Amino acid sequence: MVSFSSLEFLFRFLPVFLILYFAVPVRYRETVFLVGNLFFYAVGEPAFVLVLILLTVINYAMGMRIWKLGEGFTIHEWQKNKRKRYMIQAVALDVAALAVFKGLAVFVDNTLLPLGISFYIFKMISYQADLVRGEIWSKPDFRRTALYFTMFPQVVSGPIMRYNEGELDREKTSSLEQFEDGLKYFAAGLGMKVLLADRLAILWNDLQMIGFQSISTPLAWLGAVGYSLRLYFDFWGYSLMASGIMVMLGYEFIENFHHPYAARSIGEFYRRWHMTLGSWFRDYVYIPMGGSRCRKKRLILNLAVVWLLTGIWHGNGFNYVIWGVVLGALIISEKLWYGEFFKKIPLLGNLYVLVLIPLTWVIFAITDLKQLGIYFGRLFPFFGGAGQAVNKMDIVRYAQNYSVYLIAGILLCVPAVFGFFEKHKKNPFVIVLLAVVFWASVYLLSSSAGNPFMYLNF
């Protein structure tokens, strides 16, 4: 049930939850939402729901210690220092919990990693920091804090909403128009996941089954592009579905992707990709370390730390560390040397992104370093060492089989194309198209085993 693209979620959990949510008086909706969150997580992760509940209780209790020291018109210096100490204790506990479970997943069994722990831990850390900063304006009660930590649309794979973004100090109402908008976002996200990401996943799976040492260079590049689009539509689709549900319930839409493949530098790409994670690292790691308003050596250190942590956060394999280090090196290089050049020639900057980003996703995708080396040997055969392809014309067959999905994916990466549908989302033609997308997705789900979201692994 933890996958939004499962028939159980679409036709059992979600309809029942929505009926209950809107059937009760407004003042009880938060309670229904909270119970629904815990039920959703308990069905998906029965062994770890107690971890989520325990961390919620502890973080609320520690947050209240911070809040009480900040009450009143005058806050003395000793109170500020004590609030910071309490925050450090709470954050240290959260980080320790995340590190312990990550360690168990690496050294004992990967099933010991609670689903979504990276996402809800980051929410808990931002909650503690925002209390100290005074960015939470009204006293949080336990129900609303628990609701914030456990929201089922976000608890598994984000977006990482801030407490004040959810406006949890006021009761939520949803108009028919807002509910309709949420449904449209949900249908669009489901289509991206099922009709695009899952189809492109078959291409990557085929390459793994064949063996990277057997494919031709053109097919290796096609695979890199296909994987890049698959990851994008998988996660963008999830984010649209999650935000769509939140909009249905009366919350504001949270944008997590903003046409990253239209970016003109790697830095800009990651300001557009998984935006809530990027802004989290910026606000709670990068800026507290000094940000970019510091000497060159310190700037390099700040960016290196952020991207090393980003790589470690994404996965347990050494390839994720390499991925983070490579991106950090590219972004540091842009900051210090050639970034201004791409601003003067935007088209060149965009081509630079479109070539390099798929290569970095290959590092992200292949956890076996030996296989990673073979794949790069296929991408760049002039370095040698990868041997001869079994069928040099294999690109023809795969290009024909996946051309529809690749073309559709590339078109949706163009801001003007998606912007057209966003602008005309009330047009009857667009509404009918989304209905067709939804039922086509349901048909494919009912005729296959389904494919869970990639980011459920993080």
Task: Please state, in angstroms and rounded to a whole number, the distance separating the CA atoms of residues 376 and 364.
Answer: 13
Closest Cα partner for 245 from 45, 451, 40, 26? Answer: 40
How far does CA 359 lie from the centroid of its chain?
20
d(CA 90, CA 84) in angstroms, rounded, equals 10
Give me the catalytic one of 259, 274, 314, 424: 314
CB 75 within 8 A of CB 12: no
CA-CA distance, 189 to 242, in Å (whole number)?
Answer: 9
Cα gap 210→355, rounded to integer Å: 24
Q: How far is CA 266 from CA 275, 321, 358, in A?
A: 14, 17, 12
Burial of 152 (0-12, 13-18, 19+ CB in 10 A): buried
Distance (Å, rounded) from C-alpha 83 to C-alpha 132? 6
* Dihedrals phi, psi of 312, to nearest 5 degrees: -65, -40
133 Cβ neighbours under 8 A, 6+ residues apart: none
Please report how the helices 346-365 and 318-333 are oriented relative to each other, as an axis angle in degrees rounded to 10: 170
Q: Cα separations (Å) of 180 from 148, 163, 245, 299, 424?
A: 24, 25, 10, 45, 14
Residue 274 designated active-site: no
Both tokens of 224, joined, read 């890199």
Structure tokens at 109: 């069994």
Structure tokens at 235: 């996660």
Helix (H, G, I), strand (E, B) or coil at 189: helix
By annotation, the residues acting in catalysis are 314
